[in-house]
Structure 1
C-alpha cells in the first residue's frame, strides 16, 4: 500500500478521508500527469549531467520513469492519499526503485516549481489543440464565404434591417474575429512557453543545477528570470482564460445569429439534424440545442476567468495553496472552449443557407435608402444631410417614388431633383439590393470583387498561422524525442 512520503518527517497522524479529499488536487492533476513525467525525466537527466546523482541511482529512476512513460502511470499514483500527482509519481518511484534511489529525484526542486512547469507544458499543448480547431473553423468560414460571394442578404443594426450585404461579407466578419483570437493564442503561447523549473520553493537552490538544460529538454523557449515570480505567477493562466473568454464570446455571437436565422421568423439557415434536438412533447420542434449550449458555455468560460482572477488578486508573493483552486477553473475554460470550437466548425460546415429568402429580405424596411441618399450626393451635388432628410421624408411616407422624392426635395431645400435629372429608373437602380452591394467596392466592403480579394488575404493569413503552429509542434516533439533518448541512454549506460 502506497503512503504519502512527504508527511513522514514533519507531521504525524493519518488524515481522515474528508480532509484528504479536501486538500487533494488529484482530479485536476490528471491533466498534468504526463507533463509531470517529462519534468521528472528532464530533472533527472540534468542532475546526472551535473554530477548531483550517482549513476546507479539515476539508472534505477530512469528505468521506472521510462516504464511509466511507455506503459502509462499506474492507478496507484492517483490515489487521493497523495495530495497531488507529483507526490503520487514520487511514491511510485520509491516503490519501484527504493527510497535510496527514488528518494533522490526531488533534490534541488520543490513541488512549487514542478507544478508551475507542468501547468505551462499542458497549457501550451492545449493552446495548439484549440488553435487547430479554430483554424478548422476559420477554414470553413472562408470556404463557405467563397460559395456565397454573390449571395445578397440584409445586414442589421439594432436587429433592424439596415443595409444589404452578402453572406460572404457576414461570414468573413466572424473569420476575422476568430483570426484575432488565434493571434492572441499564439502570443499567449510565447509567454506560456517559459520554464520555471529550477526555481525550487521560491528562492532557487544552492545546488549547481543547469536550468537552461531542463528548459531545452522540455521544449521551452527561455527560463523565467525571477524564481519567486516563476513559482507563484499565474498570469499565463489568466491570459489564457481571458483569451478564451473573448474567443467564446465571438462564438456565442455567431451561435445567437444561427439561432435567430434558423427560426421560423427568419428562415435564413437550416442546421443539420445532428446539431439539433426535438421536444419531448411537441413533435414538430427542431431546436438548435448545440448553438444554445455553446452560448451558455461562453458564460461558463467567462466565469472561469473571473474565478481565477479573484483567486489571484489578493495573494502575496510567493506560493500559496490557494493557487491549487485556480487550476480546475483553467481546465474548465479550456475544455469547454476546445469542444465548442470543434462543434461550431461542424455546424457551419453543414449549414444550408436559404439564399432566396435572404435576397427577398435584403431590401425590407427600406434598407437600400442609404444608397439613394448617397446617389443624390454623388450625382446631384446635395449635402449629405440634405439628401438624408429628403430620403428620410420619403421613407416616412411609406413609399420611395420620383413624385415623393420630388415633393420632399422642394419642401426641405426648395429644389427640383426631377429638373436636375433624377428619374424613376435611377431611383429604382439605387434601391436595387444587388446594385447597392456591387457599389461597395471600398476595402472591407461586400462587393464581390472586394470579397474575393479578402478571401485570398484571409486564406494567406490562415496559412501563415497554420505554419507557425506546425513549427511549434515540431519544436516540442523534437525536444521530447531528445529527452526520451537521453533517458534511454541513462538506462543503457
Structure 2
C-alpha cells in the first residue's frame, strides 16, 4: 500500500526515504505493534465498529505474522515505518479489508502505545537484573561481616569499617535505582491508544478495553498528551543514567582498590587484561569500559531532553528521533549491569590488607575524640583539638596509632587545656581497636555486625517482595 498516493502527487526519493524512515529502530517495537493491532481490532469487533468476519480475518493474519516474526515483513525504507509494514503484510494476506484495522486509530497513538509496551518490558527485565545484583551483594556482605577495611572521605583514610558495610552501600544505591525505575513504570502504565491523531475519534471505541487487553492500568485522559508525551522516555533514561552512575562508581572503586597502592581487591582474570608490551600488567579493563560506556547514558539523556524541550503539543515527527536514543540507553545499561554484577561477584577481597589499612594512619582518631567526650566530659570541639594535635605530634615522631597511650594524651591535654584527661589506659587501647570501634557503631546504618545483619534481612525482604 502506498500511503502517499492520495494527498501527494510525487514520491519521495530513495535518499529522502532513507533519511526519514524509522524502520531501522522500529524492529524493537515489532511485537508491541502486533499486540497493539490485535487489541485494537478485538475492541473494534466487540464494539460492532467492524464486522466480526473482517475482524477475525485481520486477527488471523496478525497471528500468522506473530508466528513468522519480523523477517516476514517488507522493511524497504519506502514503507516508512513498522506500522505500515505490518498493515502491508495483513493486506497481502486478506486484501483491502486490512484497512479496517486502522479504523479509529492513527500511527500517532499507535507508536506512543508501542513504545510504552516495549519499554515496560525493558524496565521489568532491568529490574529483575537489579534484584539479582542486590541479592549477590547481600550474599557477599554475609561473608564479610567482620572483614575490616578503612572507610574513606576525600579518598583519604577516615574511619574503620567493614567490607560488608561498604558493599551494602552499593545495595542501597541499587535499591533506589530500582525504585526510580518503578516510579517511571507506574507513570508510563497508561494507554494512549484511542487518542488517534490527536482528538480521539467519532467512532464509539472502548479505550478501557484496549488498555485492559494491552495490560495497562487504564487509558490516558487527554488525547493530545497521549500522542505527544515522551516524558516517560526521558524519565526512564534519567533513571537509567543514575543507575549507570552507580555502576560507574562501583567500577571506579574496583579500579582503585585493585592498584598496588591499595591492594584491597584482586579482580578475576576474566575481567582483566594485560599490556601488549608490559608482561607484568593486570589491567582492570572491563571496569574501565563500564566506567566509559555508562557515560553514554548521560549523552542519550541530554539528546532526548533537547529534542523534546521545544516541541509544541501534539505529534511532531521530531519525536521519531527520540526512540533510537532510548534503545541505545537501555542496551548500554543492560550490558553494563550484568557485567558489573559478575565482575564484583568474582572479585577477591583481601582481608589482611583491609585490616592493615584499618589500623593504619590514625583512622581511630574520631573514636578517641568521642572517648574524651564520654570519659573526660569534654566538649567535642575541645576533644577534636586534642586528638588533632596528638596525631600531628605522633606523625612528627614517627609513632603509629597503637603507640598512643593515656599518658601521651594527658600530656597533649595538659598543654592545650591545662588539665589532664585521667582516662584509664585499657579504655584508650579499646578505643584504638578497629573491631571495638566497629562494634560500638551500633546505630541504624552503622557498620556494627548486628546492624549490618538487620539491613541484610531488610534487603532480602525487599528482594522477596519484588521478585516475580
State the TM-score, normalizing by the size of structure 1: 0.91
- Aligned residue number for residue 442 of structure 2: 441
- Aligned residue number for residue 453 of structure 2: 452
Q: Distance in 1 between matches of 2:145 and 2:348?
A: 15
Q: Report the Cα offset of residue 5 of structure 1.
A: 2.2
2:53 to 53, 56, 71: 56
Q: Report the Cα offset of residue 77 of structure 1.
A: 3.1
1:285 to 271, 281, 287: 281
- Aligned residue number for residue 422 of structure 1: 424
Paired residue secondary structure (1:162): strand
Q: Distance in 2 between matches of 1:208 and 1:71?
A: 33
- Aligned residue number for residue 461 of structure 1: 462
Q: Distance in 2 between matches of 1:9 and 1:285?
A: 67
- Aligned residue number for residue 485 of structure 1: none
1:404 aligns with 2:408: yes
- Aligned residue number for residue 91 of structure 2: 94
Q: Distance in 1 between matches of 2:297 and 2:55?
A: 43
Higher RCO (Cα < 8 Å, 6 or more apart)? 1
- Asked if 1 retains the 8 angstrom alpha-carbon contact of 2:197 and 2:227, the reply is yes
Structure 2 unaligned runs (5+)? none
- Aligned residue number for residue 387 of structure 2: 391
1:23 aligns with 2:39: no
- Asked if 2 retains the 8 angstrom alpha-carbon contact of 1:77 and 1:85, the reply is no
User: What are the within-5 Å matches in structure 2 for residues 61-460 of structure 1?
Assistant: 61-99=58-96, 101-397=97-393, 398=395, 399=399, 400-417=404-421, 420-423=422-425, 425-460=426-461
Paired residue secondary structure (2:65): helix
Deviates more, 1:313-322 or 1:53-62: 53-62
Q: Distance in 1 between matches of 2:309 and 2:63?
A: 40
Deviates more, 1:34-43 or 1:89-98: 89-98
Paired residue secondary structure (1:267): coil
Deviates more, 1:30-39 or 1:62-71: 62-71
Paired residue secondary structure (1:7): helix
Q: Distance in 1 between matches of 2:55 and 2:72?
A: 24
Q: Report the Cα offset of residue 292 of structure 1.
A: 1.1
- Asked if 1 retains the 8 angstrom alpha-carbon contact of 2:27 and 2:70, the reply is no
The one-character-per-residue Cα deviations of 1:355-410 (angstroms, maximum 9, x if unpaired) are: 11111011222111111111111112111111111111110112434343122101
Paired residue secondary structure (2:102): coil
Paired residue secondary structure (1:154): strand
Q: Distance in 2 between matches of 1:374 and 1:277?
A: 46
- Asked if 2 retains the 8 angstrom alpha-carbon contact of 1:5 and 1:91, the reply is no
- Asked if 2 retains the 8 angstrom alpha-carbon contact of 1:151 and 1:167, the reply is yes
Q: Distance in 1 between matches of 2:50 and 2:423?
A: 94
Paired residue secondary structure (2:157): strand
State the TM-score, normalizing by the size of structure 2: 0.96
The one-character-per-residue Cα deviations of 1:199-245 (angstroms, maximum 9, x if unpaired) are: 00011111111111111000000110000000100111111011111
Question: Runs of 4 or more off by more than 4 Å in structure 1?
Answer: none
1:11 to 8, 11, 27: 8
- Asked if 1 retains the 8 angstrom alpha-carbon contact of 2:191 and 2:216, the reply is yes
Q: Distance in 2 between matches of 1:435 and 1:224?
A: 58
Q: Report the Cα offset of residue 75 of structure 1.
A: 4.4
Q: How many correspondences in the alignment? A: 460
Deviates more, 1:123-132 or 1:284-293: 284-293
The one-character-per-residue Cα deviations of 1:241-286 (angstroms, maximum 9, x if unpaired) are: 1111111111111110011011111111111222222222222222
Q: Distance in 2 between matches of 1:235 and 1:458?
A: 31
Q: Distance in 2 between matches of 1:327 and 1:407?
A: 69
Q: Report the Cα offset of residue 105 of structure 1.
A: 0.8
Paired residue secondary structure (1:322): helix
Q: What is the RMSD of the two structures over their aligned residues, measured on CA atoms?
A: 1.3
Q: Distance in 2 between matches of 1:190 and 1:368?
A: 46
Q: Distance in 2 between matches of 1:184 and 1:151?
A: 32
Q: Distance in 1 between matches of 2:74 and 2:269?
A: 43
Structure 1 unaligned runs (5+)? 471-493
